[in-house]
Structure 1
Amino acid sequence: MRRTLVLTEESARHRFRASLPPHVKRDLIPIPAEALWRLTMTDMRGVASVYVAATAAVLAFII
């Protein structure tokens, strides 16, 4: 079985996205890569809470 490089349209570069019907791709929102690497206050709060919880768990097992 021979498959073409681009299944339905050239703007969808990934095979899965190219195989999606147009009404599904209409709702996809492009997210810039810079926004994925931005640290927010929620991220910092999550890291701090995991650090405190892990430290408390280790100290509970030691003591």
Structure 2
Amino acid sequence: MNIYVMRTRKEGLNTYLTELRKICNLFHREMIIQQRENSQTIFLKLNTACTIIHSQIRILHRKN
């Protein structure tokens, strides 16, 4: 699943980071649900996805 977050010129940095935090929180919530179902593979995939999103935040922030 690819999630692209675009920042318009009208949005401030705080709004932009808040949206990205919401996405990451969603991943964390999914991780907890999957962990309860004892699906370690999915748990690790979601954890990795969240880490990748954090890396992309830094890259996008540098470009803007």
More helix by share: 2
User: TM-score category by the smaller chain?
Assistant: 0.3 to 0.5
Structure showing greater relative contact order (alpha-carbon pairs closer than 8 Å, 6 or more residues apart)? 2
Q: Which has the larger radius of gyration?
A: 1
